Amino acid sequence: MFFFDGFSDGIFGAIMGDYSGGAIGGITGGIKANKMGLNFWDGEGVIETPFDNSLVGIGKNLEYSNESLDDFINKNEELFKLSANVDEVHADGTGPKNYKFKNGYLVNSKGSRVNGATSISRVRGSSRMIIRTYLSKGVFKSSAQLYMTVHHEFMHANFWSFQLGFSSADQHAIINNWHYDQLKAWKLTRRASLFTNPYSTFSKYFKSKNPNHYTFFGFKTITTLPRY
């Protein structure tokens, strides 16, 4: 299991504090949590990276283990920086509640494969929340695919920790824009069939109309393939 010490005990205090402030505070906190893609009542939730294997064959086939993932994150500066707001990262065949591990992939409650999933859960008897990221074995077949998946999930974790109130759709729109630009930086947009068309559209939209470009939050693309 991979742990990070950068997560602040009070990072979700503003959200969870509303639940202890009476009925009005509870409703306010519930609405705020729900808008962020979390459960109205307890502020918990899961968000995913959809299944994709379009980058298989780009880069090295890595060992599926917590130790291998630890090393990969430490070798890639952008991943390491984003990991500060993640408590645990798992590459061990486990997943969030109601997820299964089948044929090397996490499977959600709807029966769909996903590349990764990030959960927020509350420590019993405390306002402290824990962010955990879980990865499918399948994404370790390619260092490029692994980088994209980990970065995707870490972006979700950071949006939650920023407490900006972005919905799942808002988060994915920004992340999709980053996905496309990262693929473009690697000259892999044609290879990534799942990403190319929608991400191209997002890229044009964000650059011209939306102030919430991923760079505003400190997210960056890299020009070379990830280190492993």
Q: Domain of residue 176: give its range.
A: 2-217
* Residue 149 falls inside a structural domain: yes
> Rounded to an integer, what distance in angstroms lies between the CA atom of residue 213 and that of residue 177?
8
* Residue 60 falls inside a structural domain: yes
174-227 residue pLDDT tens: 888 888 889 889 998 776 655 544 545 555 555 555 567 899 889 999 999 999
Number of folded domains that form the chain: 1
88-139 residue pLDDT tens: 999 999 999 999 999 999 999 999 999 999 998 877 777 678 999 999 999 9
* Residue 73 falls inside a structural domain: yes
What are the φ/ψ torsions at residue 120 (nearest 5 degrees)?
-120, 130
Report whether pLDDT(87) > 90.
Answer: yes
Fill in the DSSP letter of residue 20.
G
Q: What is the band of 22 on the pLDDT scale with cuts at 50, 70, 90?
A: very low
* Residue 224 falls inside a structural domain: no
Q: In this predicted structure, what is the pLDDT of residue 144?
A: 95
